[in-house]
Amino acid sequence: MPRLKESCKQDLKLRINIVDVVSRVATPKRAGGSRFKALCPFHQERTPSFHFDSDKGFYKCFGCGKSGDIFSFVQETEGLNFTEAIEALAQRFNVTLEYEEGGGGPSREERSLRQELFDLHEFATDHLHQAFKGGGDAAKWMRDYWTVNRRFPAELADEFKIGLADAQCSGLGAAVLRKKFSEAAIRQCGLFYLYDDALMTVQALKPRFRGRLMIPIRDHQGRVVAFTARQTALTPEDDKSREAKYVNSPETPIFTKGNLLFNLDRARAHAGEGNPFVMVEGQLDALRCWSVGLKTAIAPQGTSITEGQLLLLRRYHTELECFFDSDAAGQKAALRLLPLALKTGIEVRFLTLAGEGKLDPDLLFLDKGLAGYEEVKKNSFGGMQFMRRYVLPDARSATAERTHAAVREIYSVIAAADSELLRRRLLGEIAPALGALQVTPDVFERDFASFLAKGGRAAATGPGVTGPATGSGGGGESGPGERFEINGQGTPAPEDSAAPERDLLLLLLHSEILGGALAAACPHDWVDDRLPAGALLNRFLAEFSEGQWPGVNRLDTLLESEAERALVASLLFEKPQIDDWSKVGVEGLTRLRARALAPRLRQINILLAQAATDHSFDATALLKERSELQRRLRSPLALAPLA
Ligand code: ZN
């Protein structure tokens, strides 16, 4: 991951007004001073409770509680991660970003190479699309291929910038050289073959794509990063990949197959409650879906679906319908997807069409339009139903071996589920079907438990998975129900809005002048740093003791997570009517002190009560500790601005 220079974030915050960021998705109304309000983009409402402040650069919704800054706003409304949100903002507001040298991130050169590769792909997309629209026989042939053979609307070609690579790749090499892209970018873009020691000339640049229909591949931010090229009658005999139906760009610094889903950049805007993503096998299937109005279709890049792709998908929506060809390859792909979906928390259903014969989503939608979708939706299966149908042998043909193999396959899928609760549910769903194969539910469950104990779920356990960390060594005897636990040890205490940490944090943010005094008066071990507010309070107090407090408007460098940014934003937004912040501070400190010292005092009192009947016990030390504790608990606390 490229690491941005810390100063960039600050720079963006100074240059970009949150009002401009919010107004892309909501209409701001003035609410006095630097304050604005709008209808909340995060929840449904009729009167605006979404407030933001152009000076402070923070927002807070008093309806749903969402709060944060320009970065979290873009992250949440556009489904980007932090770095992507920064890049999107920088691009939108014309701010140049700087990256850290070394430290694992790309160097300045690598960074500009990436940018150049994006530019080169954008340029190539336009060039090849113009070739598709141009005069000449090849262009006319390809347009006919698009509209007559494939029966796609002409406008769809414009919308997705479908291109033509004729036998010479439509002169792309010469155009790229004229455009003065750097040699490094041309060598690494994947659009050409070029010998390592060859001079950079038009003759030396051998195009990878010849006589093919060009489909630009965009990442989830809508940037073209690669191409898929469909073989056609124009593909020349001497082409190296003549026989391949589809040729893809190789992986490059901007293109990793396993992290990309075709059409996700558009589909993500249409997916949501009741509108699941629909995974189809190929890009042209996805384009067919789009053209008939099924806007949530996506396609993997290449044949197999990866965990990375599903994690990307999950950022936007967790419901997925899988609509693959009804042939054996399609079913195999579906079965590979199922454990990944369970592992990543994607709810998957499989769409199939009743009746015989090979079904191809492209033909179905071409034939029936969106009605075809309604039809396959009626025949959809959940994951376990799908396994019952396609994995379990039917009772008549089942042999012990076949049943055993099928059951093992089911185990390995269920083992991928990310919670014990879900695994139980899945076992319950499939168990009845096993009855017909003479496998009773209790045998099935015991067998599954021993499968897990033997390491069958090793692949399924990842960070953040609840439940036991390792397979229970006890083996098949312990039922899954007994091993289920909701909270492990060391789980952070839940945020308590009444916690003194929160009050003291509020004080620091609204009365910085008391920060030094508070830092001097508050030992860090009084603070519960398992609370987000506590962790922040200790961090802030440390800055004050060091004399390094950056000031309320420059806190970014001190905030380490989204939760922290949100907490600070929400505290900054409170308008506490406080005359005497010192008093608030003293109260908070007093509560922290009592909470820190009281348990030991109670413990001492119990020990002393026991000691009263035991004359050999010397209570002197305990008595001394108790009076010291009592003295500390009584001693007055004070907070005054330090000179
Ligand atoms: Zn809201």
Q: Residue 170: is its pLDDT beyond 90?
A: yes
Helix, strand, or coil here: 293?
A: coil
The proportion of the chain whose per-residue pLDDT surpasses 70, expressed as a percent, equals 90
pLDDT per position as a tens digit, 128-169: 999 999 999 999 999 999 999 999 999 999 999 999 999 999
Q: Residue 359: is its pLDDT beyond 60?
A: yes
Q: Residue 26: is its pLDDT beyond 70?
A: yes
Q: Residue 46: is its pLDDT beyond 90?
A: no
Who wins on pLDDT, 194 or 215? Answer: 215
Band of the pLDDT at 101, cuts 50, 70, 90? low
Whole-number Å distance between alpha carbons of 67 and 76 = 11
Compute the distance from residue 347 Cα to the ligand 1 centre, in Å: 26
Tell which CATH architecture fits domain 264-388: 3-Layer(aba) Sandwich (3.40)
Type of residue numbered 59: Y
Residue with tokens 């501070």: 585
Compute the distance from residue 506 Cα to the ligand 1 centre, in Å: 22
Compute the distance from residue 66 Cα to the ligand 1 centre, in Å: 6
Compute the distance from residue 51 Cα to the ligand 1 centre, in Å: 9
Compute the distance from residue 279 Cα to the ligand 1 centre, in Å: 31
Compute the distance from residue 26 Cα to the ligand 1 centre, in Å: 12
Orientation angle between helical segments 70-78 and 562-573, nearest 10 degrees = 120
Compute the distance from residue 63 Cα to the ligand 1 centre, in Å: 5
Compute the distance from residue 19 Cα to the ligand 1 centre, in Å: 16
Compute the distance from residue 189 Cα to the ligand 1 centre, in Å: 43
How long is the chain?
Answer: 643
Give residues whose Cβ lies within 5 Å of ion ligand 1.
Answer: 40, 42-43, 61, 63-64
Whole-number Å distance between alpha carbons of 156 and 288 = 9
Give the predicted TM-score (pTM) of the model. Answer: 0.60
Compute the distance from residue 295 Cα to the ligand 1 centre, in Å: 27
Compute the distance from residue 554 Cα to the ligand 1 centre, in Å: 26
Compute the distance from residue 30 Cα to the ligand 1 centre, in Å: 17
Compute the distance from residue 11 Cα to the ligand 1 centre, in Å: 28
Compute the distance from residue 496 Cα to the ligand 1 centre, in Å: 21
Using alpha carbons only, how large is the chain's radius of gyration in Å?
Answer: 31
Instruction: Identify the CA nearest to 476 among candidates 449, 456, 452, 441.
Output: 449
CB 444 within 8 A of CB 406: no
Compute the distance from residue 487 Cα to the ligand 1 centre, in Å: 29
Give the model's pLDDT for residue 491: 36
Who wins on pLDDT, 111 or 373? Answer: 373
Compute the distance from residue 50 Cα to the ligand 1 centre, in Å: 6
Compute the distance from residue 508 Cα to the ligand 1 centre, in Å: 26
First CA to last CA across the chain, in angstroms? Answer: 45
CATH topology of domain 6-92: DNA Primase; Chain A (3.90.580)
Instruction: Identify the CA nearest to 222 among candidates 399, 87, 97, 132.
Output: 87
CB 378 within 8 A of CB 301: no
Compute the distance from residue 569 Cα to the ligand 1 centre, in Å: 14
> What are the residue ranges of helices labelled H in 439-580?
441-451, 480-483, 500-510, 515-521, 532-545, 562-573
Compute the distance from residue 534 Cα to the ligand 1 centre, in Å: 26
Whole-number Å distance between alpha carbons of 111 and 343 = 33
User: Within its chain, how far is the Cα of 198 from the centroid?
Assistant: 42
Token representation of residue 406: 């099928």
Give the model's pLDDT for residue 484: 26
Compute the distance from residue 76 Cα to the ligand 1 centre, in Å: 12
pLDDT per position as a tens digit, 292-313: 999 999 999 876 788 888 888 8
Band of the pLDDT at 190, cuts 50, 70, 90? very high
Give the model's pLDDT for residue 177: 93
Compute the distance from residue 62 Cα to the ligand 1 centre, in Å: 6
577 φ, ψ to 5°?
-90, 85
**For domain 108-254, is the CATH number 1.10.390.10?**
no
Give the model's pLDDT for residue 395: 73
Q: Is 302 exposed, middle or buried (0-12, 13-18, 19+ CB in 10 A)?
A: middle
Give the model's pLDDT for residue 469: 32
Whole-number Å distance between alpha carbons of 568 and 64 = 16
Compute the distance from residue 271 Cα to the ligand 1 centre, in Å: 20
Compute the distance from residue 45 Cα to the ligand 1 centre, in Å: 8
Whole-number Å distance between alpha carbons of 532 and 550 = 20
Compute the distance from residue 37 Cα to the ligand 1 centre, in Å: 11
Name, in order, each residue with C-beta under 8 angstroms of 118's C-beta and a sequence gap of 6 or more.
223, 224, 225, 254
Four-CA torsion 235, 239, 240, 245, nearest 10 degrees: 10
Compute the distance from residue 336 Cα to the ligand 1 centre, in Å: 39
Type of residue numbered 184: A
Type of residue numbered 30: R
Compute the distance from residue 52 Cα to the ligand 1 centre, in Å: 12
The domain spans of the chain are: 6-92, 108-254, 264-388, 391-453, 493-643
Compute the distance from residue 33 Cα to the ligand 1 centre, in Å: 21
User: Within its chain, how far is the Cα of 411 from the centroid?
Assistant: 28
> What are the residue ranges of helices labelled H in 25-136?
70-78, 82-92, 108-133
What sign for the dihedral angle of Cα 161, 167, 169, 170?
A: negative
For 558, other C-beta atoms within 10 Å of its C-beta total 16
Question: According to the 3-state scheme, what is the secondary structure of 12-44?
Answer: HHHHCCHHHHHCCCCCCEECCCCEEEECCCCCC
User: Within its chain, how far is the Cα of 603 from the centroid?
Assistant: 47
Give the model's pLDDT for residue 606: 80
Compute the distance from residue 86 Cα to the ligand 1 centre, in Å: 23
Compute the distance from residue 85 Cα to the ligand 1 centre, in Å: 20
Give the model's pLDDT for residue 18: 92
pLDDT per position as a tens digit, 418-446: 777 788 888 888 888 887 777 777 778 78
Give the model's pLDDT for residue 335: 84
Type of residue numbered 505: L
Compute the distance from residue 49 Cα to the ligand 1 centre, in Å: 7
Compute the distance from residue 331 Cα to the ligand 1 centre, in Å: 42
pLDDT per position as a tens digit, 441-483: 777 878 888 887 776 643 333 333 223 333 333 333 333 332 2
Question: What string of DSSP letters covers 166-196?
Answer: -TTGGGHHHHHHHTT--HHHHHHSSSEE--T
Four-CA torsion 452, 455, 460, 462, nearest 10 degrees: 120
Average pLDDT over the chain, rounded to an integer: 82
Q: Residue 593: is its pLDDT beyond 60?
A: yes
Compute the distance from residue 570 Cα to the ligand 1 centre, in Å: 13
CA distances from 10 to 7, 16, 85 (A): 5, 10, 14
Name, in order, each residue with C-beta under 8 angstroms of 410's C-beta and a sequence gap of 6 or more.
387, 391, 392, 430
